[in-house]
């Protein structure tokens, strides 16, 4: 892949998904992020179908575009904007803050099925704030460990490891 082609593909992703949904009535998308843990995990495959905004309810998970990126987040509120047009407020289960308001033209569809390890999990998808916070903490720790490994942090010397072990000669 040439330099810049990954960015081009990323920018084209929402348009490609929208086209697939329009032509075929459904799309499957593999997840990369951790914002919806534990309901949706990295490498899960989402089955998405188009839905009119008026058919989407609080707690549904929707696929939408924002700044040329795709997001699958949970609907936390519905309403209308200043011009009286319908909109959704969404938030990733592991996020503290809501996303910016989502207009109807940004909504690509509703997540109806999550495929994980060859098994289909149907909507509605359970939500637990405590569970999501625990998953967020675990994901954060894994990201830190991954970054440290990527920087080539040296392994601890054998003498240092031995010094950390409890002494068997304690009285």
Q: Domain ranges in the chain?
A: 5-164
10 vs 67: CA distance, rounded Å: 11
The CATH class of the 5-164 domain is mainly beta
Distance, CA of 45 to CA of 113 (rounded, Å): 8
Gyration radius (Cα) of the chain, Å: 21
Q: For the chain (length 171 residues), average pLDDT per consecutive 10?
A: 50 89 96 89 95 93 94 96 94 92 96 96 82 77 79 53 48 42
Q: What is the pTM of this model?
A: 0.74
């Amino acid at each position: 892949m040439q330099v810049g082609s990954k960015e081009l593909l990323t920018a084209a992703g929402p348009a490609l998904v929208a086209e697939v949904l329009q032509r075929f009535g459904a799309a499957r998308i593999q997840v990369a992020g951790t914002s919806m843990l534990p309901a949706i995990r990295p490498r899960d495959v989402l089955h998405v179908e188009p839905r009119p905004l008026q058919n989407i309810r609080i707690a549904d998970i929707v696929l939408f575009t924002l700044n040329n990126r795709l997001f699958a987040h949970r609907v936390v509120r519905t309403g209308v904007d200043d011009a009286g047009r319908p909109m959704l407020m969404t938030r990733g289960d592991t996020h503290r803050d809501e996303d910016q308001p989502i207009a109807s033209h940004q909504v690509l569809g509703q997540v109806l099925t999550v495929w994980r390890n060859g098994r289909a999990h149907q909507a509605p998808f359970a939500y637990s704030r405590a569970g999501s916070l625990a998953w967020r903490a675990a994901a954060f720790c894994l990201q830190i460990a991954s970054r440290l490994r990527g920087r080539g942090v040296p392994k601890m010397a054998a003498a240092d490891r031995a010094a950390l072990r409890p002494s068997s000669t304690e009285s």
